[in-house]
A and B are shown apart, each in its own frame.
Chain A
Amino acid sequence: MTLDLSTPEFLIERNRDRCIDCKVCVNQCANEAHTYDEEEGKVVSDDTKCVNCHRCVALCPTKALSVRKYPLEFRSHGTWNAHYINSIYKQAATGGILLTGMGTDKNYPIYWDHLLLNASQVTNPSIDPLREPMELKTFLGRKPDAVKIENGRLAEKLPPQLELEVPIMFSAMSFGSISLNAHKSLARAAQEMGTFWNTGEGGLHRDLFPYGKNTIVQVASGRFGVHTDYLNSGAAIEIKIGQGAKPGIGGHLPGEKVGREVSLTRMIPQGSDAISPAPHHDIYSIEDLRQLIYSLKEASNYEKPISVKIAAVHNVAAIASGIARAGADIIAIDGFRGGTGATPLRTRDTVGIPIELALAAVDSRLREEGIRNQVSLVIGGSVRNSADIVKAIAIGADAVYIGTSALIALGCHMCQRCYTGKCNWGIATQNPNLVKRLNPDIGAQRAANLVKAWSHEIKELLGGMGINALESLRGNRLMLRGVGISEKELEILGVMHAGE
């Protein structure tokens, strides 16, 4: 064995006065950081194995455990910090690319935090959502330029729309990358809240077909689990071109996570890696995308809106315009802070652009071209709270996708080790012993609670602005002011600076 140069990232501290050696931590840690030493008759820990997921800490009956950053520092250096040094140790030892999970943990600017909302004072009244109606209903899908009416009756039906009670949907996370219980939780929560969840690129488990009315089924480059029944089981179909955490590359599900159920659902052999090609091999251009959009419309009898999901990249505005013209009904844009189950670390941390700027650029471009109303815009990738949602809608989004936030509601502790398949919270794992830690009834309740809480907050904020229907906020950038950002950033966001 070669010498391992890496040092632990976290330090597990066990308060010996409290520990009763009950072995709860031993059973809870799938990373095997805790073991029971038979000879000594006590529980011991191995810091190197800890990923700081808080599971043992939360479940220890005597609160004997705590975990913190390992107090080991390299001699301080402006260029060579611990991350870069340790990365090299790892790669020198393995010769492999660095993998990670979740969205980037780097400190890129978060524009949500540089935008402030307006409120009514004197000249128009704020509205109290507890006493007055406050409407969040949102329709996603293509809108015609004009409503055709003959003799007072509708002469042409509206193209298919998704009807959302709240402007919040659960974003695509595949069965495989997350557990069946996580899927069940999201599906039930979506149904309860009158919104939608997204299957992600791994097909739809047969037990979840009954939630079809609240499901968006995804078609990605790997075409895992795609068949006619699948396409027709959902309320909308989403073509996944890219994902914010890893623009330019396809999904990657390690073979360890491909058990019987995943294999059946994805229609691939058990234990095989499920690797989606980087591009769709039938889409090398915008004309090809159009063909796929229309074949899916044909396959679903023109009864379902077709969404196209892309990662926010430099030229996103022009790409979105092309997608709208190619016939998509919804464009979903995933910002580069968006999460994932597994991604090469360097891709996650360096490719793509922030969703706020991408959204502003796309909304402005589509308006300039006079086609904004033809397509709905859904954004995702680091929507952390209800205020982020209100800001996104004021910039121009129709609705948002939440992924990471939804998982945190289910119990995720952001350890970023989703790709290992050892998620101690039963979310990003297929290990039956871990999966059962997530009770789908409780998960559904918690995810629904989050959406409920956020919609109350959205209503409060809307009321404060004197608005009683969400559509009056959509693209209403006058309700925003920037703080602490440059002229250029304000220009792209299309907002004035605070005080203006």
Chain B
Amino acid sequence: MNRVFPRIPSGCAISGIMNKKGKRISGVDIMKSIALMHDRSNGLGGGFAAYGIYPDYQDHYALHVFYDSLANRVTAEEFINEHFNVDASEMIHTRKVKSITNPPLIWRYFVQPKKNKLLSSELTEAEYVVQCIMKINSCYEGAYIFSSGKNMGAFKGVGYPEDIGEFYRLDEYKGYIWTAHGRFPTNTPGWWGGAHPFTLLDWSIVHNGEISSYGANARFLEMFGYKCTLQTDTEAITYIFDYLMRKTGLSLELAVATVAAPLWKEIDRMDDDRKELIKTLRTVYSSLLINGPFSIILGTRNGIVALNDRIKLRNMVAATKGDFLYIASEESGIREICPNPEKVWVPKGGEPVIGLLEGVKSI
């Protein structure tokens, strides 16, 4: 297993909007916000994640899949049909956009795990779905599941984010959380799967930065069955949160204290209980510290979390107005869609901005 992990650094713009009452808005605002930061991407990748968009199928996993060819679809569908009950399957509606060339075949399935398969696998439902996704993504050529949550979806591709939004007709979808990403890769395979956001089940991540701990993070994750098949840091970050929160059951607050761990000299100043807890986390999960510059917006069905690396090497601004929380790489990205926010602030390194839906206790 002396695998060497290929990877591609990239810089970016990110943006996020959420309504804490769960009121759904169209994708127009998020497209405007990310379009304003056009210069932060270079047309080689853009994408969105939206929550609340499939109310009619809220209990189904919505699989969004890229296929290179019809033949790839036929083979992968065999696997999907074998492991899931597919209640709807369709090609995702797109619009012709001049700058978007050569899109793959893009399909959507609303599925539920087959009961008998799930039982005999002796896995939790979430783990079962994750393993099926990992299987397709690492073993099925020309097939790539890029979104798999319930009542949410990712839309991404190669192009400027506003063009990608146009292409996917995001103005026609309505969600209570929207996140967006414009990518500035320094090198790219020109592959649609490589665009952000990266998602796994309900998790979605948009990320700006290049993490210098990638090799350490990825090799640790491999030990726990995660396959870093993609060429992005974002994938690793998603798996880290999935591992810490879903698999080991850490709270969001402690997961954040693990990936953007406080400095030892700050830990030394904590009270004894806290000190021991944070020290233990940092020691046991030392390989999951995310090092180097990053700003990320993590989305789940319950809300969003925005986080900067612990010494704040990437810009990120937050604002609120009424029931809305806004996050963007630049303040202008917020003012474009919310000219007079009630509060605007620059979150400190390592200190998360947490937006939760009303009535929800944790992310």
Residues in A lying within 8 Å of B, measured CB to CB: 120, 122-125, 127, 132-133, 135, 137, 139, 143-144, 146-147, 149, 152-154, 157-158, 161, 360, 364, 367-368, 370, 372-373, 465-469, 471-479, 491-496
- Chain B residue numbers with a CB within 8 Å of A153 are 273, 277
- List 18 other contacts, CB 8 Å, given A147-B285, A158-B283: A124-B9, A125-B293, A139-B286, A146-B248, A146-B284, A147-B284, A161-B283, A367-B1, A370-B224, A372-B223, A373-B220, A466-B292, A468-B311, A469-B291, A471-B213, A471-B216, A474-B286, A477-B215
Task: Give the most central of B222, B280, B287: most A CB within 10 Å.
Answer: B280
Pair A467/B285 contact, Cβ less than 8 Å: no
Instruction: Take A124-B212, A154-B277, A477-B215 as given contacts and tell me if A370 and B223 are in contact as well, using a CB distance cutoff of 8 Å.
Output: yes
Instruction: Take A161-B283, A472-B289, A491-B2 as given contacts and tell me if A154 and B216 are in contact as well, using a CB distance cutoff of 8 Å.
Output: no
User: Size of chain B's interface in residues, with CB distance under 8 A?
Assistant: 52
- Chain A residue numbers with a CB within 8 Å of B292 are 120, 124, 466-467, 472
Nearest CB in chain B: distance from A495 CB, A: 7
Instruction: Take A372-B223, A468-B291, A474-B287 as given contacts and tell me if A147 and B5 are in contact as well, using a CB distance cutoff of 8 Å.
Output: no
Assess whether B301 is interfacial by the CB under 8 Å rule: no
Whole-angstrom CA separation of A45 from B120 in the bound complex: 86
Pair A154/B4 contact, Cβ less than 8 Å: no
Nearest residue, chain A, Cβ from B248: A146
Whole-angstrom CA separation of A276 from B281 in the bound complex: 42
Pair A467/B291 contact, Cβ less than 8 Å: yes
Whole-angstrom CA separation of A122 from B185 in the bound complex: 12
Nearest CB in chain B: distance from A336 CB, A: 21
Assess whether B227 is interfacial by the CB under 8 Å rule: no
Nearest CB in chain B: distance from A358 CB, A: 14
Pair B285/A123 contact, Cβ less than 8 Å: no
Nearest residue, chain A, Cβ from B10: A123
Pair A158/B286 contact, Cβ less than 8 Å: no
A interface, over-half SS: loop
Whole-angstrom CA separation of A370 from B219 in the bound complex: 10
- Chain B residue numbers with a CB within 8 Å of A123 are 9-11, 186, 210
- Chain A residue numbers with a CB within 8 Å of B214 are 476, 478
Whole-angstrom CA separation of A84 from B202 in the bound complex: 70
Assess whether B353 is interfacial by the CB under 8 Å rule: no
Whole-angstrom CA separation of A224 from B285 in the bound complex: 38
- Chain A residue numbers with a CB within 8 Å of B251 are 149, 152
Whole-angstrom CA separation of A125 from B281 in the bound complex: 27
Whole-angstrom CA separation of A492 from B1 in the bound complex: 10
**Selected contact of B216 from candidates A144, A161, A468, A476, CB within 8 Å:** A476
Pair A474/B216 contact, Cβ less than 8 Å: yes
Closest 9 pairs (CB-CB, A-B)? A472-B213, A476-B215, A478-B215, A472-B291, A471-B286, A466-B212, A494-B2, A124-B210, A476-B216
- Chain B residue numbers with a CB within 8 Å of A476 are 213-216, 219
Instruction: Take A146-B248, A370-B224, A467-B212 as given contacts and tell me if A154 and B1 are in contact as well, using a CB distance cutoff of 8 Å.
Output: no
Instruction: Take A467-B212, A467-B291, A468-B291 as given contacts and tell me if A478 and B7 are in contact as well, using a CB distance cutoff of 8 Å.
Output: yes
B259-318 residues with Cβ-Cβ distance < 8 A to A are 261, 263-265, 273, 276-277, 279-281, 283-287, 289-293, 310-311, 313
Instruction: Take A466-B292, A467-B212, A467-B213 as given contacts and tell me if A125 and B4 are in contact as well, using a CB distance cutoff of 8 Å.
Output: no
Nearest residue, chain A, Cβ from B261: A469
Whole-angstrom CA separation of A373 from B7 in the bound complex: 24
Whole-angstrom CA separation of A78 from B287 in the bound complex: 50
Nearest CB in chain B: distance from A390 CB, A: 13
Nearest CB in chain B: distance from A111 CB, A: 14
**Selected contact of B219 from candidates A127, A157, A161, A367, CB within 8 Å:** A367
Pair A147/B210 contact, Cβ less than 8 Å: no
Assess whether B86 is interfacial by the CB under 8 Å rule: no
Whole-angstrom CA separation of A466 from B314 in the bound complex: 13
Pair A471/B215 contact, Cβ less than 8 Å: no
Pair B210/A479 contact, Cβ less than 8 Å: no
Whole-angstrom CA separation of A135 from B1 in the bound complex: 30
Assess whether B250 is interfacial by the CB under 8 Å rule: yes
Nearest residue, chain A, Cβ from B279: A158
Pair A473/B284 contact, Cβ less than 8 Å: no
Assess whether B153 is interfacial by the CB under 8 Å rule: no
Nearest CB in chain B: distance from A54 CB, A: 42
B42-72 residues with Cβ-Cβ distance < 8 A to A are none
Whole-angstrom CA separation of A293 from B95 in the bound complex: 67
Q: List 22 A-B contacts (CB under 8 A).
A: A120-B212, A124-B212, A135-B264, A147-B248, A147-B250, A154-B276, A157-B280, A158-B284, A360-B2, A373-B220, A373-B284, A466-B293, A467-B212, A468-B311, A471-B289, A472-B212, A476-B214, A476-B215, A476-B219, A478-B5, A479-B212, A495-B4
**Selected contact of B311 from candidates A120, A133, A367, A492, CB within 8 Å:** A133
Nearest residue, chain A, Cβ from B283: A139
Pair A158/B223 contact, Cβ less than 8 Å: no
Nearest CB in chain B: distance from A129 CB, A: 12
